[in-house]
């Protein structure tokens, strides 16, 4: 079924049908209703590529994810895609990898596909290489970055106060008598470094030199979190609490403590960040900093839609995290 078939049955020109399909003015209401009825009856679906050539809009957005193995990145992409689909946009989701050159290559793909807008998932895209690529190839379309920011006129950022959030985690552990604490950094993204800074500031406020403060780095993986917890126990057997920069490693750390017959939280309290689905599947259940992933995703989609429809928003919007306390503290 083509636009010409619909036009023939309605007794109108193909251009009139096209105007109805694209919701253009200047069509008599009776004619519009007749055409819409035929479109529905024959389940007519316009060729989006062809329509995009006419309207200079693809009705497609790009979503870039650095590592789709991370559950929270997948969740963000899911909520964004679902929200954009409600408004008639399809999503091209690309797993870029963690290196700058692969991120730049993905930006070039979106440029070639002529997407209407872009959402960058995570602060890992807050880097000079991506900034230059966006400035060069995507300067004409709106871009939103979650938990990060690029200083470009067409880019908006949705951020979460993870630094202050982790600082509150330190305060909570101290209030429960856990003073000798370690922080485990997943990787060197701006977001994770902000979490580490919050840990350091929280410990400094509490006088860390009177207790203990240890910093570690560990990739996000079950086996890595298990091994890291064993290392911390070996090097600092007097540790009283560990904050992991994400949930997955924290869950495996609880398993390591259990295998060593170390009581959680009686002897060592454990916290994570993300408030992911992993928190409720371990024992004891994991206390985690809720960094508002769902709200951040929906806010990113809302801002992109606003930009596509000509509505203004601030360059940066800040969301506030909160601790979801469970059994591990």
Q: Which string of DSSP letters, residue by residue, matches 287-303?
A: EEEE--HHHHHHHHHHH
* Pair (186, 236) in one structural domain: yes
Residue 285 makes CB contacts below 8 A (sequence gap 6+) with: 279, 326, 327, 328
In a domain, 256, yes or no: yes
Q: At 146, list the tokens.
A: 């979650």
* Pair (297, 154) in one structural domain: yes
Q: At 68, list the tokens.
A: 């789709």
In a domain, 326, yes or no: no
* Pair (246, 193) in one structural domain: yes
**Looking at residue 219, what is its pLDDT?**
82
Degrees to nearest 5, angle at CA 303 with 297 and 305: 105
**Looking at residue 53, what is its pLDDT?**
46
Q: At 93, list the tokens.
A: 């989701």
In a domain, 328, yes or no: no
* Pair (107, 180) in one structural domain: no
* Pair (154, 87) in one structural domain: yes
* Pair (153, 170) in one structural domain: no
In a domain, 53, yes or no: no
In a domain, 309, yes or no: yes
**Looking at residue 55, what is its pLDDT?**
52
Q: Which CATH number does the domain housing residue 131 bear?
A: 3.40.50.2300
**Looking at residue 3, what is its pLDDT?**
80
**Looking at residue 209, what is its pLDDT?**
63
**Looking at residue 69, what is its pLDDT?**
80
* Pair (297, 281) in one structural domain: no
Q: How many beta carbons lie within 10 A of that of residue 286, not counting itself?
A: 28
* Pair (170, 285) in one structural domain: yes
* Pair (166, 283) in one structural domain: yes
Residue 103 makes CB contacts below 8 A (sequence gap 6+) with: 64, 66, 96, 97, 124, 125, 127, 129, 130, 133
In a domain, 329, yes or no: no
DSSP annotation of 158 reads E
Q: What is the DSSP string of 54-118?
A: HHT--SEEEEEES-TTSHHHHHHHHHHHHHHHHTT-EEEEEE--SSHHHHHHHHHHHHHTT-SEE
Residues of the chain below pLDDT 50: 49-50, 53
Number of residues that this document lists for the chain: 329
Number of structural domains the chain divides into: 3
pTM of the model: 0.79
* Pair (190, 215) in one structural domain: yes
Q: At 101, list the tokens.
A: 């050159």
User: Domain range for residue 257?
Assistant: 162-290
Q: At 312, list the tokens.
A: 């203004």
How far is it, in rounded angstroms, from Cα 301 to Cα 184?
31
Q: What is the DSSP string of 201-213?
A: HHHHHTTGGGSEE
**Looking at residue 279, what is its pLDDT?**
94
């Amino acid at each position: 079924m083509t636009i010409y078939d619909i036009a023939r049955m309605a007794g109108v020109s193909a251009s009139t049908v096209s105007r109805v399909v694209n919701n253009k003015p200047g069509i008599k209401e009776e004619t519009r209703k007749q055409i819409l009825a035929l479109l529905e009856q024959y389940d007519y679906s316009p060729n989006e590529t062809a329509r995009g050539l006419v309207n200079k809009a693809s009705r497609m957005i790009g979503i870039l994810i650095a590592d789709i193995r991370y559950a929270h990145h997948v969740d963000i992409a899911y909520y964004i895609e679902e929200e954009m689909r409600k408004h008639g946009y399809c999503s091209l989701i690309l797993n870029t990898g963690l290196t700058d050159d692969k991120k730049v290559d993905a930006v070039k793909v979106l440029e070639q596909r002529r997407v209407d807008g872009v959402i960058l998932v995570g602060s890992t895209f807050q880097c000079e290489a991506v900034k230059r690529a966006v400035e060069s190839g995507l300067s004409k379309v709106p871009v939103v970055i979650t938990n990060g920011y690029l200083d470009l006129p067409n880019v908006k950022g949705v951020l979460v106060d993870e630094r202050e959030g982790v600082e509150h985690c330190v305060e909570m552990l101290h209030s429960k008598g856990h003073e000798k604490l370690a922080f485990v950094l997943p990787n060197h993204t701006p977001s994770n470094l902000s979490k580490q800074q919050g840990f350091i500031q929280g410990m400094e406020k509490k006088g860390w030199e009177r207790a203990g403060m240890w910093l570690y780095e560990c990739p996000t993986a079950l086996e890595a979190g298990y091994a890291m917890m064993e290392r911390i126990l070996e090097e600092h057997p007097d540790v009283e609490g560990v904050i992991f920069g994400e949930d997955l490693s924290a869950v495996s750390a609880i398993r390591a403590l259990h295998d060593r017959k170390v009581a959680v939280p009686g002897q060592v309290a454990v916290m994570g960040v993300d408030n992911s689905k992993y928190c409720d599947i371990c024992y004891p259940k994991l206390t985690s900093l809720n960094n508002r992933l769902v709200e951040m995703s929906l806010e990113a989609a809302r801002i992109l839609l606003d930009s596509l429809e000509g509505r203004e928003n601030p360059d940066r919007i800040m969301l506030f995290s909160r601790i979801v306390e469970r059994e591990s503290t």
